Copies of this chain bind each other. A is one copy, B any other.
Amino acid sequence: MTTAGRAVVLLSGGMDSATCLALARAGGHECHTLAIDYGQRHRAELAAAAALAAALGAASHRVVAIGIGTFGGSALTDVRVAVPEAPSPGIPVTYVPARNTVFLALALGLAEVLDADAIYAGMNAVDYSGYPDCRPEFAAAFQRLADLATRRAVEGRRIVLETPLMRLDKASIIRQGLALGVDYAATVSCYQATVDGAACGACDACRLRAAGFAAAGVDDPTRYAPRS
């Protein structure tokens, strides 16, 4: 495979970032994946990320731990805040403050160290949970920041933020991923997955995922945990 240069790929272990990695690989990039351990209660996604990195041919995989779980303020990091199991208006309590800003900043640092030309991130503004830091205008603002923030940029060599899923619906993401060999059974989306990655089937992430498989007309490979 010819190489399109190095890329840092943010890999959460969910279906979007797995598809993003497959797209970056299909584009010829040497991919270095980065998972972030931010104290998320759905720890199974970190194990899924490592397995997906290997299965999809990443050149390296890193996990960076950051202590933002101690900030509190999100159902994803604070077990005292319940994960909602029904749709709610506005920005949900599963929003982690400034999460994508922090994750992209870390990816930018790694991209600079590895001399990578691109960052791939699976943000999506169609079938998403209404987080402010998943929108195209947020990604564009991050690009403008990145163009001023790094040694590479000062030297005239940009690090480009690629968000290939931004305007795709979930069904299109699934179809693209399946065409590229993504094994969605190995991905974890659920906000309250069990330690071995079984899904609740009720949270916002589970609902979006199940609707995506239905719309794509393919069998849903998700393992669901028995409900009590």
Residues on A facing B (Cβ under 8 Å): 62-68, 70-73, 91, 95-102, 104-106, 108-110, 112-113, 132-133, 135, 137-138, 141-142, 144-151, 153-154
Give the chain B neighbours of A154 by CB distance below 8 A: 91, 132
Give the chain B neighbours of A109 by CB distance below 8 A: 68, 71, 96-99, 101-102
Give CA–CA (A16, B101) in the complex, Å.
25
Give CA–CA (A132, B155) in the complex, Å.
10
Closest Cβ of chain B to A131, distance in Å, is 8
Assembly of this chain: how many copies? Answer: 2
Q: Would A65 and B64 count as touching, CB distance under 8 A?
A: no
Give CA–CA (A88, B67) in the complex, Å.
35
Closest Cβ of chain B to A37, distance in Å, is 8
Q: Would A64 and B68 count as touching, CB distance under 8 A?
A: yes
Closest Cβ of chain B to A18, distance in Å, is 23
Q: Would B141 and A112 count as touching, CB distance under 8 A?
A: no
Give the chain B neighbours of A99 by CB distance below 8 A: 109
Give the chain B neighbours of A151 by CB distance below 8 A: 91, 95, 97, 132
Q: Would B110 and A132 count as touching, CB distance under 8 A?
A: no
CB contact between A106 and one of B102, B145, B153 (< 8 Å): that residue: B102
